[in-house]
Amino acid sequence: MDTLGNRLATYTHAGAAYRTIAWDPNRKGFWSSNFSDNLVCRDTNGVVLRTLTNTLPGKYGMAFDSTSTADSAFLWVWSQGATTGAPNTLNRIHIASNTNTRIYTVPLVGGTLGIAGGAETFVKDGKFMLALNYQNYAMVGYVLKELAPPPPGGGSVTITRNQTKVIVDNAGNANPTVDTINVSGIAGSVEITKVTLTIGDVQHSWIGDLRFWLSKDATTDTTISRIGWTGTGFGNSCDDFTGTILSDSAGLVNIQNIPTACIGTQSQTTGNFNPKSPLGVFANNGTNPNGSYILRISDNAAGDTGSLRSWTLKIDYNTITGVNNNVTSIPNEFSLNQNYPNPFNPSTKIAYTIPNNGLVTLKIYNLLGKEVASLVNEVKNAGSYEVNFNAANLSSGVYFYRLESGNFVDTKKMFLLK
């Protein structure tokens, strides 16, 4: 059901007992049990994923928790006493080891009131909570973990656009492909301090035909312009932009000066580069970070086609000098950035944003689909995050990292070269 109580889906699990139930977002399944049965996890088709042998009597409520303790997942089992008038027990079951790691005994009120009912975990006001129902008596919320608030003062917002837009062949600057990212919700007297533009995926043969420019309000910056073109003939003959990160940072190669040699047919555009013209034209001049950022791409030679598939904009901002307002960054879209550096050895960074509080998982898989690392598995506040991944114990090759939160799922590829 949604937050208004509307039914979104119905699942039928033949033979399952549902005195208790809890959704497990890691396994994409439901844990359930009758009063004295084992704890069983079934997927949405009813297939048994895991069984935990359990002899607790009177199981009545259950809740999933992968947030209160880092890198561990638990079931909180809320049980009635074995006999009339016996106290309730709250049990924290470690799923991986099937160990009861904590037991809390809760006597009934007056020996009769408040027997164990339902249980649920949730986020409220920056706190990860466990709610327990004491039947015919009370509903009580317990704080399991204080979640870190978003940082005060300055911040950043990262937004990714994933779509397919055709880049019209030989349309020239007069008829470019246009796409827009809208930034909103940043409060206070703040200004842009840095802009980072990532061309996540542009599939196009002969990248020397293409010109990119970014605009906001009356300011326009040419970020890439016909790489390798000298005014006559053709430019760089390699294909595609993949994970091309443009920012004003010291020590980076300018995107216009990348090698002309192709790797197969692919261009050497993956990584961090300075743009053709500094993106600093948008920064440190009182420019409000809210607004529309327009990316234009033109094809300036005939004979090839392509499309824009993905691009990302990261806006760093801070309080305008002399103003002491505190502001927070709340992204308005989910995004998963390309790792940097890529290829890497042995460490790389993965950045992502979430627009609302919720359970977040970030996991690494090999080419066979086997999970090799779990980087994040807990409830996070809305905001922007960066995680370091150290692959010192892994062999060279292609790996995939997958971000899940709510209904959002995104997977990207990275290369470990030792």
Q: Residues 138, 253: one domain?
A: no
CATH code of 30's domain: 2.120.10.30
Mean pLDDT on 223-252 = 89
Above 90 in pLDDT, residue 243?
yes
| Domain C-terminal end among 146, 163, 193 | 146
Name the β-bridge partners of 90: 78, 104
pLDDT score at 287? 84
Q: Residues 116, 160: one domain?
A: no
Q: Residues 220, 281: one domain?
A: yes
CATH code of 359's domain: 2.60.40.1930
Residue range 329-341, pLDDT digits in tens: 456 788 898 988 8
Domain enclosing residue 126, as ranges: 20-146
| Domain C-terminal end among 146, 161, 195 | 146
SS3 281: helix
Question: With a threshold of 0.75, does the pTM exceed it?
Answer: no
Please indicate, yes or no, if residue 12 is contained in any of the structural domains.
no
Contacts of 255 (CB under 8 A, 6+ apart): 223, 224, 227, 244, 246, 269, 273, 274, 275, 276
Q: Residues 267, 134: one domain?
A: no
Tokens of 160: 């990714």
Question: Could you tell me the pLDDT band of residue 80, with boundaries at 50, 70 and 90?
Answer: very high
Please indicate, yes or no, if residue 9 is contained in any of the structural domains.
no
Q: How far apart are CA 287 and CA 280, in angstroms?
A: 11
| Higher local confidence (pLDDT), 172 or 255 | 255
Question: Could you tell me the pLDDT band of residue 153, with boundaries at 50, 70 and 90?
Answer: low
| Domain C-terminal end among 146, 169, 194 | 146
pLDDT score at 70? 61
Cα angle, residue 387 at apex, residues 347 and 63 outer, rounded to 5° = 135
Mean pLDDT on 54-69 = 90
Please indicate, yes or no, if residue 7 is contained in any of the structural domains.
no
Percentage of residues in the chain with pLDDT exceeding 70?
Answer: 94
Q: Residues 382, 301: one domain?
A: no
